[in-house]
Amino acid sequence: MSNEIKRYQTNARMSQIVVANGYVHLAGQIPDVENASVTAQTKNVLDRVDVLLASAGVDKTRLVAATLWLSDVKHFTEFNQVWDAWVPQGHAPTRACVQSLLMKPGCDVEVAVVALARGEL
């Protein structure tokens, strides 16, 4: 196991992807479509997750853990309809979902995931 840490799409505040100890960690992803339905926001966020995972050489079948934030518990069922269709059958990660005030106005969904890496990036 390597002690090396690789960071991608990094700025002064954060990295979108960090690969360490054989795991790919994604920063929390928020939608590009503020004030849209929770369905639209969730699809947008999960599309962003797919793109970042692909850039790290993995896909959602490699998910290990997911942390989900919803601005209101009333969005839970609508979010889960999109989530359940997105997660490949037999590849569901561990998951935590909490209600939280999100930092960007008009955003109701945020998702961060950890996936098992494939070799060296």
Q: Give the tens place of pLDDT for each residue, 92-114.
A: 999 999 999 999 999 999 999 99
Number of domains in the chain: 1
* Domain CATH number, residue 51: 3.30.1330.40
Is 28 part of any domain? yes
- Contact between 95 and 65 (Cβ < 8 Å): yes
- Is residue 98 situated within a structural domain? yes
Reported as a single tens digit per residue, the pLDDT across 23-46 is 999 999 999 998 999 999 999 999
Does some domain include residue 81?
Answer: yes
Confidence of residue 118 (pLDDT cuts 50, 70, 90): confident
Sign of CA dihedral 103, 100, 35, 79: positive
Q: pLDDT tier at 119 (50, 70, 90 boundaries)?
A: low
Question: How do strand 5-10 and strand 15-20 relate by DSSP bridges?
Answer: antiparallel
- Structural domain containing residue 43: 5-116
User: Is residue 121 a part of any domain in this protein?
Assistant: no
